[in-house]
Amino acid sequence: MRLSLIVAVAENGTIGRDGDLPWRLSGDLRRFKNITMGHAMIMGRKTFESIGRPLPGRTSIVISRDPNYVAEGCTVVANWESAKQAIPAGVDAFVIGGKQIYEMAFADVSRMYWTQVHASVSGDVEFSNVDWSEWELVYDEPHAADANNQFPFSFRMYDRMTSGR
């Protein structure tokens, strides 16, 4: 099982605004679906509620501090350790947000699927700083803005470098 993080980040670090994505990038949404299909997704309650439903073809694990929280069609857990234990055997898992969940998971992920949005965008949620010396860029695919993509962006994949490298 591989534990990965998947995120879209503006040049100024913004990842969200008013409980939603602060851009319209259909290419990024397509990539998200293709990468996560058939796997588990770990998210916080606010991220789940912004999506509004479990996404088909994926196992949804929702972290909530509310012991009475119910997300129909999802596995609800109380913390990061329980979320890791809830990942079905033999399935890769993707941390999909929000900010607090990314921060909880960051030390455990070995890969990042990073969409770099080539714009500074206003928002109320930012991705935490990354120590890029720990990560190796293994894939970079640029895309221009067009009728379906509000800003230019790049699909990047980073693997965590192992110690001793």
Q: Where are the beta strands (DSSP E) in 11-129?
A: 14-16, 40-44, 59-63, 75-77, 93-97, 111-117, 125-126
Rounded Cα gap, residues 99 and 125, in angstroms: 7
Long-range contacts of 141-150 (CB under 8 A, 24+ apart): 143/27, 148/24, 148/25, 148/26, 148/27, 149/24, 149/25, 149/26, 149/27, 149/28, 150/23, 150/24, 150/25
For the chain, the structural domain boundaries read 3-160
Residue 164: per-residue pLDDT: 47
CATH number of 3-160: 3.40.430.10
List the Cα angle 111/126/45 in 5-degree steps.
75
pLDDT in tens, the chain (165 residues): 899 999 999 999 999 999 999 999 999 999 999 999 999 999 999 999 999 999 999 999 999 999 999 999 999 999 999 999 999 999 999 999 999 999 999 999 999 999 999 999 999 999 988 999 999 999 999 999 999 999 999 999 999 998 544
